[in-house]
Amino acid sequence: LSALCGILAAGAAGAILQSRRKNLYLKKSDEAQKKKLLTHLSLLSDEQKTRYFSRILSAETEGGAKRFGRSRLQTEDGFYFLAFRFAPVCADEIANISRLKTSKRKILLCDKIDEDAAALCDKLGVEVKTGEKVYAFVKARNALPSAYLGEETGKKNRRLRLCFGNTNSRRFFVGGA
């Protein structure tokens, strides 16, 4: 009886640990995917960014998304401002966004934003979507790119495989390594 109880307790503990490990792995893979996407968006040119988000937003709205300026998109429900770069968005850029006189929503899509800029956005009524929300937005529409800019290539593994390949195996065997 005690052995049976021990087996059941060990099985339950193993199942709980395995589900936690699975959730942790999913979180880490999502985090890595998000980081790749935000780096990719930061490396794209303004024209490529607007084209990318135009395709995503056009599928969502009836009228589609039209390019409005260097890194701006206009849809029926509002204006989207694309500010993907490695540095956080500052308050001066928010001031430039606020100069647009319109009754439509103003939505800023960015990776990171300063505290001062976030407070200014709240005052001026500019909606902010930072990296996590942008990733969720893109992932929900199945619009993640197939290849990312700035992604590591497999050249290091190739070099390692060449060093320890079949052609060099005799030398390692004779040398004692």
CA-to-CA dists, residue 10 to 3, 72, 132, 140, angstroms: 10, 57, 37, 38
Q: How confident is the model at residue 136 (pLDDT cuts 50, 70, 90)?
A: confident
Number of C-alpha atoms within 13 angstroms, CB side, residue 72? 13
Q: In what order do the strands lie in the sheet with 66-67?
A: 66-67, 72-74, 78-83, 105-110, 126-129
Distance CA(66)–CA(55), nearest Å, equals 10
CA-to-CA dists, residue 50 to 72, 83, 154, angstroms: 7, 11, 30
pLDDT at 26: 46
What is the per-residue pLDDT across 31-85, written as a single tens digit (0 to 9) for each?
888 888 888 888 888 888 888 888 888 776 666 777 777 888 888 888 888 888 8
Distance CA(85)–CA(111), nearest Å, equals 7
pLDDT at 40: 86
Question: Which of the 8 DSSP states describes residue 26?
Answer: H
pLDDT at 94: 87
Residue 135 above 70 pLDDT? yes
What is the per-residue pLDDT across 69-125, written as a single tens digit (0 to 9) for each?
788 888 888 888 888 889 888 888 888 888 888 778 888 898 899 999 899 989 988
Predicted TM-score of the model (pTM) = 0.68
Residue 176 above 80 pLDDT? no
Diameter of the chain by CA atoms? 79
What is the per-residue pLDDT across 162-175, written as a single tens digit (0 to 9) for each?
666 666 566 665 55
pLDDT at 167: 62
Residue 5 above 70 pLDDT? yes
Tokens of 80: 């989207």
